[in-house]
Structure formats: structure tokens, C-alpha cells
Amino acid sequence: MNQILNIAGVALVSLILPSCGEAPVEYTQQKASPMNAASGSSAALPALKEAAIEREPVPNTTPPGSHMDPSSNAYIIFDGSGSMSGQPIEAAKRAVSTFVANAPEYLNIGLFVFDGRNSQGREVTPLGRGTAQRDALTSEIKAISAGGGTPLGSAILTGTNALITQFQQQLRYGDIRLIVVTDGEANDARQFSNGINAAQKYHVPIYTIGFRIKSAHALRKVSEAYFTANDEQELLIAMQETLAELDDSAASDL
């Protein structure tokens, strides 16, 4: 499993993040169908560590260049696999682009994509904010081309590492969350288990949006909130809901 960045040092103040082991808040947007947990395909995946495990917080470090920063951070994983081909991926691209354009100015946004250009996935835009950042995100989203499998595990590991690193840079002020937009199950079962366990261990909350999914997704039981969406509008609403409680976040010790 990828190692979480850990640079020596001490920070004085930290933020308590929701535990991913708690029962997720589940939403069904507008016309979306309720999820049936019994019908999911998660049985094929390695067992995931859940509420009973003892979790460690994000390492309390002060990397070079770190400073107190209360900014919020959203790292988006965009599933551009072959099953998204045609109208679904175009609808998803429009919804995510609109979300980026309308997101709060204080929000740092990063983007990981797996698609026909790179089926293993890659971080196309690191966490950041500002006009240039939004333009870069919009350009990368526009270029997404459906194809390949669904390496959600490696995507979650990358997103977890990116958020932890950013959180340390902010002296553990602010807020972090991983937003997953997907239409299918992971095809990298071992990495998927590793990714979920890493996110849980370091209190990185996962917000999952199941797009056009007819059965429950494996991420449902480990997500801070789980949404379903069947079209572009529902997907946009779900993405906006992932930020709904940001104003209620409070800085306190882990």
C-alpha cells in the first residue's frame, strides 16, 4: 500500500473529522432509486476494516512551508471508465464542471481521473484554488474520454495522500473530504481495500455519488454520505450536497 506522507514536526491545533466507520448518511436525489444493500457486489472484495478498528488521526506534523490555513479541501475522483461511454459521461462532465465553476472561492479542489486516456488513473489537477485552478480543472474535465476499467482503489489512495499532505500544510486547520463520482465497482480489489483502510485510519471522509447505479455500491457502507443520481441535474445536486455542512465544521483536537 502507498505510504502516507509523514514529515517530522509538531502542530498545535487540529480538526476533528467525521469517522468513516460511522453509518453513512444516505441520500436519494429526486428521481433516483433507493439503494438495496443486499444487492451490491461488494462480497467479491476483501473484507474492509470498519467501526471496530482503532484509528489514528492525520499525523501531527509541520512540513516546510506550512502555515495556519482554515481553507476547505475537496478532492474529486471522476470515474471515466468504459461503462460511462456516450451520454452518461457527457452528463457527468457537465455536472462536475458546473460544480467546479460554482464552488466557494475558499475551496481548494483537486481532480483524479481514470478514463480512456489513462486506464490506471492519474491526478490531473493537484489541490488548489483561484481562477487559473478552475480553468485548469474545466479543461481537464472537458478532455475526459470514456474507456478502461475502474481502479477506484488506487484513486482513493492517491486522494487520501493528497488530502493528508494538504491538511498537514494547513497545520491541520480547515476541512478535507474525498468526493467519488462512479458508476461501477472497483476492479482493483486489493488496492480498493487498502485505499478504504487508509482513508478510515487517517479520518479522511468519503462522499460517494453512485451515478446511474442500479444496485448498492461497496462504498456505501464506508462513506460519510452516500448519494444516488440518475441524470445530470441529480448529479450536480449531489455534488453540492457534499459541501452542505462545511459551514458547520469546527476546529478542535482530534
Quick: pLDDT tens for 112-128: 999 999 989 999 999 99
- Whole-model pTM: value is 0.77
pLDDT tens digit sequence for 204-246: 999 999 999 987 899 999 999 999 999 999 999 999 999 987 7
Give pLDDT, residue 111: 98
3-state secondary structure of 78: strand
Give pLDDT, residue 38: 29
Give pLDDT, residue 233: 97
- How many beta carbons lie within 10 A of that of residue 44, not counting itself? 10
Give pLDDT, residue 58: 67
The span from the CA of 69 to the CA of 51, in Å, is: 30
Nearest CA-CA partner of 167 in 8, 18, 14, 64: 14
Give pLDDT, residue 246: 75
Please state the domain extents for the chain.
81-245
Is the domain spanning 81-245 CATH 3.40.50.410? The answer is yes
**Positions in the chain whose pLDDT score sits under 70:** 1-60, 247-254
